[in-house]
Structure 1
Amino acid sequence: MELDFERCYQATCSRDPRFDGWFIVGVRTTGIYCRPSCPSPVCPKPANVTFYRTAAAAQLAGLRACKRCRPDAVPGSPEWNTRADVVGRAMRLIAGGVVDREGVPGLARQLAVSVRHLHRLLVEAVGAPPLALARSQRAYQARLLVETTGMPFGEVAFAAGFASIRQFNDTLREVFDATPSQLRAAVRRRGHPHPAAGLTLRLAVRPPYDPDGVVGWLAARALPGIEEYADGAYRRVLRLPGGPGTVTLRPAPNHVHATFRLATVADLGAAVARCRRLLDLDADPASYLPVLAADPALAPLTKAVPGLRLPGPVDGAEVALRAVLGPHAESMAAAFGEPLPSPDGGLTHTFPNPAAIAAADVALPAARAGMVRELAQRLGTGELCLDEGADRAAIRSGLLAVPGLGPAQVEGLMLHALGDPDAFPVADPGLQSAARAHELPADAAGLTRRANRWRPWRGYGAHLLWRARSIVCSPRQPDSRPSAERVCGRQTPSA
């Protein structure tokens, strides 16, 4: 979204929460920056306001975070999850902690650009260079840990990616105008005790949110030992830079409680970023639902699921290999997965890494065995890298070069393993069945032509149709609110 001053100012004065995370409001006279929905009783004068793409840019301008509206406690900009250019890829990698682990040269190397060129691109696009963006993220992560856990401050500093306690203290003072002790004391005064154990965080969600659709999708595809669903919570193993960990995700309409067990607290930033991607917490339904609703066949469904999300990957290689293994994924995971140092309930092992699958001698149908081995080898050597910073065009070409993978399968991998919001696996039988139930063309050519109306959100369109299979439709009452049970007046197939 371009920062049109008049539009941004109007959103700020109307305190519109739909724009939270899209831009930052800087007020020069007070020296603070806010979210657009800040409840301040007075709208600042236009002459005193500057709009920024990121909190990091506002911090570089010498502004500190507003204590009233907490601009650090909102979902991130949905733009960075959808953009396929170098800037979008860089923002996703920074969120995943690449700068903290490998520095700016490591980030530039993954993007195949020079450090100088990357610096220029980010300053032009978001108003801040890579180090400033990473510093802003560290500050947010540190405040989250200070306020929601009882961790000692030294451990908080390490977990958030700071090089020293002094740097940690100075950054929080500069960004939030408060010391770590003051931030924690304020939480205690508000009567919010810390959890007795574990790293339990409250992940912000951009409402509306459809937790049933997201968790239901994940639970239906859970692999025993790696994932489980129980008592309203989805739990899974995470393969992280410092070692395997686990997370328990308990979604609610306006937030998600996440409890982590990690090999090292330094992995917390990467774990949070992957969980946000998995649950699509930064997405903005106002971007894609109007496009989908313009199709008469989808309009009733968009009203039924106003919080539609597209579940994403926590590990692209895992998703891709599970897809090509098909019904053999469970036995392969049980045989070649790495046991966790300490089981966490029903979570006992990681999914096998690509090298282990490539070397495995297992009985698979000949055609599938060759495809699995070739894909695993390319993932294991890094020839294919399905991570947050992947070049989508290059990955699509690389997947098509794998013997046995056709265009239809590649579209499914682009959607589920890479999170491409415009990928459309038209050959999926479930998608064709849902399309037929909603009076859309069920043949691949016809459905593709129809889905082109939904670009660049065809992936969300596909998931809306999959989601529709679990919606029981009945005639709406004249004054009833849209819900998952009252939709379109005709019965859809059950899941």
Structure 2
Amino acid sequence: MHTDTERCVRAVRSKDARFDGWFFTAVLTTRIYCRPSCPVVPPKAENMTFYPSAAACQQAGFRACKRCRPDTSPGSPEWNARADSVARAMRLIRDGVVDREGVPGLAARLGYSARQIERQLLAELGAGPLALARAQRAQTARVLIETTGLPMAEVAFAAGFASVRTFNETVREVFALAPGELRSRAARSLRAPATPGVIELRLPYRAPLNPGNLFGHLAATAVPGVEEWRAGAYRRTLALPHGHGTVALAPRPDHIACRLSLTDPRDLTLAISRCRWLLDLDADPVAVDEQLCADPLLAPLVGAAPGRRVPRTVDGAEFAVRAVLGQQVSTAAARTHAARLVTAHGTPVDDPEGGLTHLFPDPAALAGLDPERLALPRSRRRTLTTLVGALADGSLRLGPDSDWERARAELAALPGFGPWTVEVIAMRALGDPDAFLPTDLGIRRAAQHLGLPSTPAALTARAAGWRPWRAYAVQYLWTVDDHPINHLPAQGSPS
């Protein structure tokens, strides 16, 4: 979009927050870059130039605006709606892969050479993987500076910088303030967290956001010990590269309140990325809802409660295991099966603030489970153990960087994986916005109620007009049934 100058200028002059994260405005006279909705008086059109990423702005010598904080914009929805190499690279960079594995590691995961990935990212984003990772490190450093009392040297290494000197230079260059000045400014306007070691931050999103289906779904399907709804927040444990953590996420009118407790602050970037992915916070709800409203039978559902997101997962392997446990049983039964697996094979954790007791077991921990001890039909035991084996040996990978169609084919080749299981994993674990569940009983009931075709083939044909947003159409269709997944839980009581 950044190449459409006229459209970008209109968005900046109208301070349209819908375009935050889609592009960035760089002001030639001040050498500052802003988000489109920046509250300051817009510059003259001839003094504006536009970039597709914050990293491109920084690489061109612009610093971040202190008023609108463009580095905290929601991410571009483009990277979640595509499955090509650039989109997958962006999702991996957002997960901190470049900091942990370098550009060669990023390229290896995508099946390309480092030079090919560099060329593709430069062409589309105006910055290569190192510059994009540097911009992310700067934002992580800012969060740690402003929300913790960590010494600056610890902040530098936790954010992924190789040295304190590089950290200081980057912060000064990007924010035009020294790290100490950033902390002093924040101390005047931000409330320090009451609990030492806890990081509190705001996760931005594009309005509107309907929290009912998002948090209602997560709370209704929560696995005891791993997840809970407590005091108006969804809480869960997180398995991370350098340790583990817990997070509490609560909906607010203009942001998601995020409260993180990490055993190692180096995991902050990934933890934030996983939380944003879980809640689908980089979606463009206006574009989604406009297209779905074009169907007169779907439009009333969208108009009644716009801004529905697709509840995802923090770990693709975890969700795949849970999807198998939930085959052909009730939500309550699926939670019970998962809780037994967690108690037997999950890693225990301490949670002074609530009832979280375990990390969900990873595929390696489940690889040695005795199928005869599972209270499941024999065919489902085989499905589960085959899945776990494929995840454990790496022959099946499920995550934000997966190739959607390849993953679908690999899942469909496993015993016991029908269209429903494959598509629900594509929707919630892989993040495909066009995943569709025409065989789902709730979807078929909703279709019949609305006058849509109710057979899977006919409904799929009718849903062609909803593409590429059929996963969001699923969220609206599920609202026809009065199910707990559609509502925020009652305040105050744990799930």
* TM superposition score normalised by structure 1: 0.92
* Structure 1 equivalent of residue 492 of structure 2: none
Report Cα offsets for 1:116-146 as digits up to 9, x if no partner: 0000000001110000000001111111222
Q: Is the 8 A contact 1:203 1:256 kept in 2?
A: yes
Greater shift, 227-236 or 423-432, is seen at 423-432
* Structure 2 equivalent of residue 460 of structure 1: 472
TM-aligned CA deviation for residue 371 of structure 1: 1.0
Partner SS, residue 367 of structure 2? helix
- Between the aligned partners of 1:149 and 1:22, the Cα distance in structure 2 is 30
* Structure 1 equivalent of residue 329 of structure 2: none
Partner SS, residue 349 of structure 2? strand
Aligned-pair identity in percent equals 54
Report Cα offsets for 1:60-95 as digits up to 9, x if no partner: 111111122211122111111111000000000100
TM-aligned CA deviation for residue 48 of structure 1: 2.3
Structure 2 matches for 1:66-465, cutoff 5 A?
A: 66-190=65-189, 192-197=190-195, 198-326=198-326, 327=334, 328-340=337-349, 345-361=354-370, 362-363=373-374, 364-465=376-477
**Residues 147, 468 of structure 1: CA spacing in aligned structure 2 closer, same or farther, 3 A cutoff?**
farther
Q: Is the 8 A contact 1:246 1:344 kept in 2?
A: no
- Between the aligned partners of 2:272 and 2:362, the Cα distance in structure 1 is 21
- Between the aligned partners of 1:413 and 1:69, the Cα distance in structure 2 is 37
- Between the aligned partners of 1:468 and 1:273, the Cα distance in structure 2 is 31
* Structure 2 equivalent of residue 37 of structure 1: 37
Partner SS, residue 357 of structure 2? strand
2:106 is aligned with what amino acid?
L
TM-aligned CA deviation for residue 425 of structure 1: 1.5
2:440 is aligned with what amino acid?
D
Q: Is the 8 A contact 1:25 1:34 kept in 2?
A: yes
- Between the aligned partners of 2:48 and 2:428, the Cα distance in structure 1 is 41
Report Cα offsets for 1:191-236 as digits up to 9, x if no partner: x221132111111122111122211110000010000002211000
* Structure 1 equivalent of residue 27 of structure 2: 27
TM-aligned CA deviation for residue 287 of structure 1: 1.7
- Between the aligned partners of 1:342 and 1:303, the Cα distance in structure 2 is 40
Greater shift, 202-211 or 461-470, is seen at 461-470
- Between the aligned partners of 1:148 and 1:104, the Cα distance in structure 2 is 29
Partner SS, residue 340 of structure 1? coil
Partner SS, residue 418 of structure 1? coil
**Residues 158, 177 of structure 1: CA spacing in aligned structure 2 closer, same or farther, 3 A cutoff?**
same
TM-aligned CA deviation for residue 9 of structure 1: 1.2
TM-aligned CA deviation for residue 436 of structure 1: 2.3
Partner SS, residue 459 of structure 2? helix
TM-aligned CA deviation for residue 468 of structure 1: 4.1
TM-aligned CA deviation for residue 378 of structure 1: 0.7
TM-aligned CA deviation for residue 329 of structure 1: 2.2
- Between the aligned partners of 2:212 and 2:420, the Cα distance in structure 1 is 28
- Between the aligned partners of 1:68 and 1:223, the Cα distance in structure 2 is 41
Q: Is the 8 A contact 1:150 1:195 kept in 2?
A: no
Q: Is the 8 A contact 2:89 2:106 kept in 1?
A: yes
TM-aligned CA deviation for residue 394 of structure 1: 1.1
TM-aligned CA deviation for residue 389 of structure 1: 1.1
Greater shift, 149-158 or 392-401, is seen at 149-158
TM-aligned CA deviation for residue 405 of structure 1: 0.9
Q: CA RMSD in A?
A: 1.8
Q: Is the 8 A contact 2:54 2:135 kept in 1?
A: yes
- Between the aligned partners of 2:156 and 2:47, the Cα distance in structure 1 is 34
TM-aligned CA deviation for residue 352 of structure 1: 1.6
Report Cα offsets for 1:371-398 as digits up to 9, x if no partner: 1111111111111111121111211111
Report Cα offsets for 1:167-197 as digits up to 9, x if no partner: 111111001100111112122333x221132
Q: Which has the higher contact order (CA 8 A, sep 6+)?
A: 2
- Between the aligned partners of 1:36 and 1:468, the Cα distance in structure 2 is 37
Partner SS, residue 359 of structure 1? coil
* TM superposition score normalised by structure 2: 0.92
Q: Is the 8 A contact 2:289 2:307 kept in 1?
A: no
**Residues 142, 219 of structure 1: CA spacing in aligned structure 2 closer, same or farther, 3 A cutoff?**
same
Partner SS, residue 236 of structure 1? strand
Q: Is the 8 A contact 2:107 2:117 kept in 1?
A: yes
TM-aligned CA deviation for residue 465 of structure 1: 1.3
Report Cα offsets for 1:390-430 as digits up to 9, x if no partner: 11121111111112212232111111221111010211112
Report Cα offsets for 1:328-363 as digits up to 9, x if no partner: 322222222121266652111111211333321123
Structure 2 matches for 1:473-492, cutoff 5 A?
A: none
TM-aligned CA deviation for residue 466 of structure 1: 1.6
* Structure 1 equivalent of residue 8 of structure 2: 8
Q: Is the 8 A contact 1:210 1:253 kept in 2?
A: no
Partner SS, residue 339 of structure 1? coil
TM-aligned CA deviation for residue 6 of structure 1: 0.9
* Number of positions where the alignment pairs a residue of Structure 1 with one of Structure 2: 472
- Between the aligned partners of 1:246 and 1:48, the Cα distance in structure 2 is 45
**Residues 113, 343 of structure 1: CA spacing in aligned structure 2 closer, same or farther, 3 A cutoff?**
farther
1:335 is aligned with what amino acid?
A
Q: Which runs of 5+ in 2 are unaligned?
A: 327-333, 488-495
TM-aligned CA deviation for residue 3 of structure 1: 2.9
- Between the aligned partners of 1:161 and 1:430, the Cα distance in structure 2 is 45
